[in-house]
Amino acid sequence: MLLLLLLLLLMLLLLLLLQLLLLVQQLLILLLLLLPLLLILLLLRLLLLLLMLLLLLLLQLLLLLPLQLLILLLLLLPLLLLLFLLLLLLLLLLLILLLLLMMLLLLLLLLLQLLLLLLQLRIMQLLLPLPLPLLLILLLLLLLLLMLL
């Protein structure tokens, strides 16, 4: 009888541990959902800073150059703009790849959560045939054990 009681107590403790694991997993899912938004904001900020730096450099160059070099620079300006757009496209592709990777990770976490819920359901099915007074005693013992920890 004591062995059965210890086994049931262990099952309740496992159930509680599964609940805690599900909570941690839900927090991870929330973090994964917010992370792409933060990355997009950071990328936009970096692009804006890069553009401002490029404009400042261009203005400084315009002030220092003679007229012939200024004309040459104006001829090269479409090439610089194309280079900047290619860099922007590369960053956008990198961001899309990162988002796809995060979605895959999110899907894996959701599958793990489903498995944990199924395991929790299975443990609950094992505990249900017990009489209610025994379940209450087990819960009280579990609470006492948790308080001691």
Query: Which of the two residues, 125 and 51, has the higher pLDDT score?
Result: 51
Residue 132 has which token pair?
A: 């209610």
Mean pLDDT score of the chain: 81
pLDDT tens digits, 104-120: 888 888 888 888 888 87
pTM, to two decimals: 0.50
Per-residue burial over 41-60, b if 16 or more Cβ lie within 10 Å, else e, is: eebeeeeeeeeeeeeeeeee
